[in-house]
Amino acid sequence: MDKARPPRPTINFIDKYCASSINWFSDVRIFEVLEQLHLGMLSPIERKTLPGIAEVVRLANEQSLYHFSTKSPRIKSTLNKSKAIFYFTRLKKHKNICNF
């Protein structure tokens, strides 16, 4: 079996933030859509719509963003679980913010 190509780099912050979730996706292109969504959400556009994000990240159209957000099979449950664990561990380190 061929080895998958590495994802295209975006900006260092987003690459590092999304790196832990690369194993969730069987196709590197789906992972790249995740990075593009993050890049679009951090962009200075006024309204964070899929067409607006597609324009900012220089996609031909928003179709890949739409399919990722609506039809990705494991995205909702996996992202929710991992983000909850991530934020819980971060909050636990800062005991002056909340008591766990």
pLDDT, tens only, 56-94: 999 888 888 888 877 776 665 666 666 667 666 766 665
Question: Is residue 42 in some structural domain?
Answer: yes
Question: Is residue 97 in some structural domain?
Answer: no
Question: Is residue 84 in some structural domain?
Answer: no
Per-residue pLDDT reduced to its tens digit, 37-46: 889 988 898 8
Q: How confident is the model at residue 21 (pLDDT cuts 50, 70, 90)?
A: confident
Rounded distance, CA 62 to CA 49, Å?
9
Question: Is residue 58 in some structural domain?
Answer: yes
Q: Are 50 and 64 in contact (CB under 8 A)?
A: no
User: Which stretches within 20-74 are classed as H helix?
Assistant: 28-42, 50-56, 63-71
DSSP-assigned letter for residue 62: S
Question: Is residue 49 in some structural domain?
Answer: yes
Question: Is residue 54 in some structural domain?
Answer: yes
Query: Which two three-digit tokens encode residue 7?
Result: 């994802």
pLDDT at residue 55, rounded to an integer: 92
Rounded distance, CA 59 to CA 39, Å?
12
Residue-range definition of the domain harbouring residue 36: 12-72
Query: Number of folded domains in the chain?
Result: 1
pTM: 0.66
Whether the per-residue pLDDT at 47 is higher than 80: the answer is yes
